[in-house]
Structure 1
Amino acid sequence: MCTYQTVKVELEGAAKGATGWFTLTGGAVYVDHPYHACHEHTVNIDFTNAGEGPSARVAVELTEESALALVEAIQRALAAAPPGLASAGGRPAGAA
């Protein structure tokens, strides 16, 4: 069942779309019918830069199990790195 609820988030990073790399400024996550995946419903994630138009978008359609595995993998990768290593400042917390 579609929730019609979209969770938006401001992002800082980069993504590679059809026309090359672009700066990420936002994302959206929602459960809905997929456009391409062969499932009735998927967890859909859009990585975007609204200021650069529709070509600055990367869309991902995942099964619920895959989405949960991705969340866990992100948490494990961050837990394995020094605190702050992947922050906007680029330096681990406490580094000079």
Structure 2
Amino acid sequence: MCTYATEKIEVTGSGKGADGWFSVDRATVYFDHPVHAPAEHTLNIDFLNPEKGPSARVAVELTAASARELVQAIEKALASAPPELRE
């Protein structure tokens, strides 16, 4: 079943694609059927810079369990950094 629930946010960062590094300014997160991952449904995250065209995109498809572990790992990594660096 597709939820069609999609979250779009502005981000500041960089991604690496086939042509090297590029800036990313948007992320799209949704739970749906994957294109490549061997799972029925995955949490899909696309980091992109639409102004640079379709090749300026990094896509990730994670199982729900892996996505939850990633969220915990991100929170732990951020919590371990000094507060003044987390702005």
TM-score above 0.5, yes or no: yes
SS across alignment from 1:67 = helix
2:14 aligns to what?
Answer: 14
The Cα RMSD (Å) is 0.9
How much does 1:84 deviate? 3.2
Q: Size of the alignment, in residue pairs?
A: 87
1:34 aligns to what?
Answer: 34
Structure 1 outlier segments of 4+, above 3 Å: none
Structure 2 residue 78 is matched with structure 1 residue 73: no
Structure that is richer in strand per residue: 2
1:52 aligns to what?
Answer: 52
Distance 1:53 1:84, change over 3 A: farther
How far does the alpha carbon of each residue in 1:20-64 deviate from its partner, in whole angstroms, 9 at most, with x for none? 100010000001110000111000000000110100000000000
Instruction: Give the letter aligned to residue 59 of structure 1.
Output: A
SS across alignment from 1:77 = helix
Instruction: Give the letter aligned to residue 13 of structure 1.
Output: G
Structure 1, unaligned runs of 5 or more: 88-96
Structure that is richer in helix per residue: 2
Structure 2, unaligned runs of 5 or more: none
Q: Aligned partners of 2:83, 2:24: CA distance in 1, in Å?
A: 22
Q: Aligned partners of 1:66, 1:73: CA distance in 2, in Å?
A: 10
Identical residues among aligned pairs (%)? 61
Greater RCO, 1 or 2 (C-alpha within 8 Å, sep 6+): 2
